[in-house]
Structure formats: structure tokens, C-alpha cells
Amino acid sequence: MLKINLRPSQLAIGNHRIHYAWVIVIVGALMRLSSSSFRTSSSILIPRLVETFGWSYGMVGGAFALQWVVSGMFGPPAGWLGDRFGVRIAMLVGAALFVVGMVLTATVTNIWLFYLYFGIILSAAMGIFQVPLTAAITQWFQRHLGLGMGVLQASQGLGPLVAVPIIVLIIELFGGGEAGLRAAFWVPGIIGGVLMLLLIRLFYTEPASIGLRPLGASESEPIRRLHSGPAAQMRAKVFVKQVLKTFAFWNLIGIHYWGCAGHAIVMVFIVAMAEEAGISATLAAGVFLTLSVSSTLTRFAVPVLADHLGSKGVMGVCFFLQVAPVALLFFADSVWMFYLFAVLFGIGFGGEMTAFPIINRQYYGNAPIGTTYGYQMMGAGVGMASGAAIGGLLRDFTEGWVYPSFIVSGDFTATIAASLVLSAVGVVSIALLPNTGRHQLPDWEESLPEEFQSAPQPGRAGAAGD
């Protein structure tokens, strides 16, 4: 009979030991899937919201914009919450906010309540499951970080693949219309919240808390706990003060902004664009689903490639692949053209932001990057907000405008053009990044008191020089 050891520090199936880092990745992926999949799949609900409540695309886009602003602005506080009270406590807060936000959204009667419940409460939960969760997982890997991040990021791409059929099924089971629309929020909110609470019990912030070294660490390396209390606060304060002076810090925030602003327009309005072109609601939802499936491949592959080849070039290629396919939307007037766009755009979109945890480690080594990554996610949130708002406002403002006959994108023409321009700026910004083979602040710890500096860690010097 095959023996299975489920103790986290001695996890094994038969004679095969399994490092708990992989359990952490799977748990993190499931929590990310539960918390974000229904938000990222909300594009299929936008036409339903407009039809059911009589709101304009600009009004609905404004709610998405507010959600991304709040989740982005909550990035640094979310990182602080995880550092100060532990990632488990932070995620318990996030799970509670998720359930409350989803259930209350199901009760909305006017646009302002939609802004409050969907745009503010739910978005705070998203910030927690983006920043401290990701930062904590990077602590579990000395090697194979790219593979771990690939699995984590791919879960977000799989989100719509799971959520879209569930949302469609829920709407049908509850009779469609307003009842079905409301159920599409409260049912996933309650079930997803319960699942997250169960998963949090399996999550540990660092390997040392269960007597392990990071995956890939030498057996001769002592098991060390992360800095905490005054030491952690001092290290974070000193590092942030220095990193603010580097061009890469500000440029990475900008890159996250430009890329997210560009693809937010597509993610929020692609279903509406397809339906306006005469495609049925079911096939239009399939366009969004196809895009999500396509993006999953690069969400997994890009962190792995970035870990081995360097993040700058990989990110540049993905950004370009996010720009070029958008031109197809100007001429898309049939099902096959929208599905072709979904496949091509998904490849670039999936890899556009998944290399950020890797590039932070390549630039800053083992420095406390939680706050730094939080600021980058703030750029992403503001970018998503800008895209959702700009896309909706342009759609409303340019409705009825006449374009050359070879452009068939109708009232979404200006919206599509905005996506193209915003993503193109991101390509230029990536070209200005420094090479990832050189640490940006190799001596930052020299500004710390000696008792707060990291002890030398065997085996890492050689790896850093590879």
C-alpha cells in the first residue's frame, strides 16, 4: 500500500519527497482563482447590466474604473497588512471583504450602490489577494521561481475558463433577467468565500515557519526566519528610500499602467464589441473565453522564460503581441475574425504582466520587495481603471460618428484606437529598462545597522552570477 505523509515539513508520496513550496503555489493559485476569476469575467455581464438597469456603457465602465483604482491604491497598504500581521490574517480580511462585496453587489438598485459594493469593497479584497499573496510565494523559492510563478499566474488565466460557464449557467438556472444577474454575484461570492477560508489554513508565509528551507536551497544553509518586527520595518523603510531613486522603479510602475490601460479596454468591452458586430451573446462570450484560454499558455510560460532568459526581452515581445492584434478589431465583422483576434491577443496579454515578480527579484535580489511590488500593482490598478473609464466614455462620446467605409468597428472605433496607443507606449517604456543581468541596488543593506543586515547565505552568490 502506497504510504502518504501529509505533514507539511515531510510531505511525501511513497519514497518521493515533495517540497511544500508546490503546495503553497497550488493553494495560492486556487485562492487567486476564487477571488479574481469572477471579476475578470465580468465583461460578459456588462451588456446585461446595461440592459437590465438602463445604465450607459460609460456608467458601467466607471464602476470598473473605480474598482481598479481602489484595488491598485490598496496595493501598498495590502503589502503592509501582510508584513505587519502576517499573510494569513491579511487573507482572512480579504476573504471577508470578497464575500461581503459579492453579496452586496447582488442587491444593487442604482449605479451608486454598484460603485460602492463592486467598485470599492470588492476591489479591496482583490488588492490583498494580488500583493501579499504573490510576495509571500516568492519567499518559498531559491530556484524554480519562474515555474512557481507560472503556475500561479496561469490560474488567473484559467479563471474566466472556469467562471464564464458557471456565470452563464447560474443566470439560466435563476431564470435570466434581473434575478439571474443578481445570482451571478451572490452564488459565487458565498461559495468562493468558503473555499478561500479552507485554503488559508494550508498557507504558510515562509518555509522556516514549518522547519524548511526555500526550494533549491543548499542543505548546508541554515534555516532562517524572515525578519519581523522592528527589523522588518527598518529594512523595508531603508530599501524603499533607496529604490525610489532608481529609474527602473518608476518605469516599472509606468509599464504596468500602460499595459493594463491598453488591455483593460479589450477585457471590459470585447463582448459588447462582438455583440454590436451582430454576433450572438453566446458566441460573444466564447470570444472572451477563447482569449482567456489563449492567455493561460503565456501566463505559465512567460515567468519560466523570464527566469531563464531575463525579463526585459520577454516582456517586450509580449507587449508587442498585445499591440499588433488590436488592429484586427477595426475590421472585424464576422465570428472567425473575433476568434482569431482572441487567440492572438491572448498570447500577448497573458505574458504582459506575469513577469513582474521575476523582474523584481532580478533587479533587487532578496530585498523586501512587497511594497515595491505593491506600487507596481497600484500602477496596474490605475491603468485598468483608466482603460475601463476611457473605453466607456469614448464609446458614449463618439456614438454615431462616421468613419471610412473600410473600418467596420462602429461606435467602438475610438475605444479600439485608445487601446492600441496605450499599449504601444508600454512597448517603448520596456525598451528603456536596464538589463536584468545586473542588480539595481546590490549594496543597499550597507545603510542598515549591522544587526538588521542579512547573514551571508551559501550557494546564492554562484546562482546570481549565472
pTM of the model: 0.74
Which grid coordinates are listed for 85? 500581521
pLDDT digits (tens, 9 = 90+) for 84-114: 677 788 888 888 999 999 899 899 888 999 9
pLDDT of residue 65: 73
pLDDT of residue 466: 26
Asked which of 11-15, 98-102, 256-260, 334-338 is least confident by mean pLDDT, the reply is: 11-15
> In terms of pLDDT, which residue wins out, 107 or 293?
107
pLDDT of residue 100: 92
pLDDT of residue 463: 32
- 434, pLDDT greater than 80: yes
pLDDT of residue 152: 85
pLDDT of residue 213: 86
Q: What class, spelled out in words, does domain 4-209+229-443 have in CATH?
A: mainly alpha
pLDDT of residue 329: 92
> In terms of pLDDT, which residue wins out, 236 or 197?
197
Share of the chain above pLDDT 90, in %: 15
pLDDT of residue 459: 39
Helix/strand/coil (H, E, C) string of 188-226? Answer: HHHHHHHHHHHHHCCCCCCHHHHCCCCECCCCCCCCCCC
User: Stretch 217-240: mean pLDDT, rounded?
Assistant: 77
The candidate with the shortest Cα–Cα distance to 322, out of 249, 413, 392, 425, is 425
pLDDT of residue 428: 93
> In terms of pLDDT, which residue wins out, 223 or 278?
278
- 132, pLDDT greater than 90: no
pLDDT of residue 94: 87
> In terms of pLDDT, which residue wins out, 25 or 289?
25
Asked which of 153-157, 272-276, 427-431 is least confident by mean pLDDT, the reply is: 153-157
Q: Across the chain, what does the average pLDDT equal?
A: 83
> In terms of pLDDT, which residue wins out, 287 or 70?
287
Neighbouring C-beta atoms of residue 162, cutoff 10 Å = 16
pLDDT of residue 391: 86
- 37, pLDDT greater than 80: no
Cα 181 from Cα 190, distance rounded (Å): 15
pLDDT of residue 345: 93
pLDDT of residue 5: 67
pLDDT digits (tens, 9 = 90+) for 66-85: 877 787 777 777 777 776 67
User: Stretch 180-207: mean pLDDT, rounded?
Assistant: 88
Domain ranges of the chain: 4-209+229-443
pLDDT digits (tens, 9 = 90+) for 392-419: 888 888 887 877 776 877 788 889 999 9
